[in-house]
Structure 1
Amino acid sequence: MPHTADWEVRLHLFEDEGKTTARAVLETGTSSLTGTGTARRAAGDEDVPDIGDEFAAARALRDLGGKLLRTAEHDVEARGAAPSPRESTPYGWDM
């Protein structure tokens, strides 16, 4: 049976005095996950807020991705499957 879903990710960026904080929120319609990330401009760096946004956003998305993978692993284990000991992607889901 075909399955289609639309999930939304919202990225919120906040910059204050050389520190950028990002929050990535995934809404699936039935649940929500949030990832966070930060970036800080070094004292001698040029003030380019876009660069801080990029680093903070990337870190928030990476954090969100890790949480989503852990959620999927937990859901699979709850159904009686265990991760395989091999080095390839567990559960047959490709990256």
Structure 2
Amino acid sequence: MAHTVEWTVRLHLFEEEGTTKARVMLDTGTTELVGHGVAHRSPDDMDVPEIGDELAAGRALHDLGRQLVRVAAQDIETVGAAGTGRGDLPETGWPLTDQAPGG
């Protein structure tokens, strides 16, 4: 059975005096999650706002991803599905194999 949905993600970046803050909001239609990330520029570093944006956004997305995996783990428990035996949360990223992805 085909399943197609659209989720809305909004990413906001705020920079002030060498600190960049990011807030990413996910709306699935049934769940809303918010991730946060911060990047601090060293006073000795060049002022390159894009780097702060990338770091803060990446950290906010990582925070959001952890929350989403936690919600999935709770949903798995709610429906009574058997665990994988690999820890508390569902596996993320590429599966561990002897070959690199696509190889």
Give the alignment of 1:10-89 within 5 angstroms.
10-86=10-86
Deviation at 1:81, TM superposition (A): 2.1
Question: How does the TM-score come out when normalised to structure 1?
Answer: 0.87
Check whether the contact 2:72–2:90 (CA below 8 A) recurs between aligned residues. no
Deviation at 1:80, TM superposition (A): 1.1
Q: Which secondary structure state, in structure 2, belongs to the residue aligned with residue 12 of structure 1? A: strand
Deviation at 1:85, TM superposition (A): 1.6
Q: How many residues align?
A: 93
CA RMSD across the alignment: 2.1
Q: Would the alpha carbon gap of residues 40 and 94 (structure 1) be closer, same or farther in structure 2, given more than 3 Å must change? A: closer
Deviation at 1:11, TM superposition (A): 0.4
For residues 48-82 of structure 1, give each alpha carbon's deviation from its aligned partner in whole angstroms, at most 9, with x where no partner exists: 11110000000000000000000000001011124
Unpaired segments ≥5 residues, structure 2 = 95-103
Check whether the contact 2:26–2:34 (CA below 8 A) recurs between aligned residues. yes
Identity %: 55
User: Are 2:5 and 1:5 aligned?
Assistant: yes
Give the whole-Å Cα distance in 1 for the aligned partners of 2:43 and 2:27: 37
Unpaired segments ≥5 residues, structure 1 = none
Deviation at 1:84, TM superposition (A): 1.9
Q: Which secondary structure state, in structure 2, belongs to the residue aligned with residue 35 of structure 1? A: strand
Moved over 3 A (4+): none
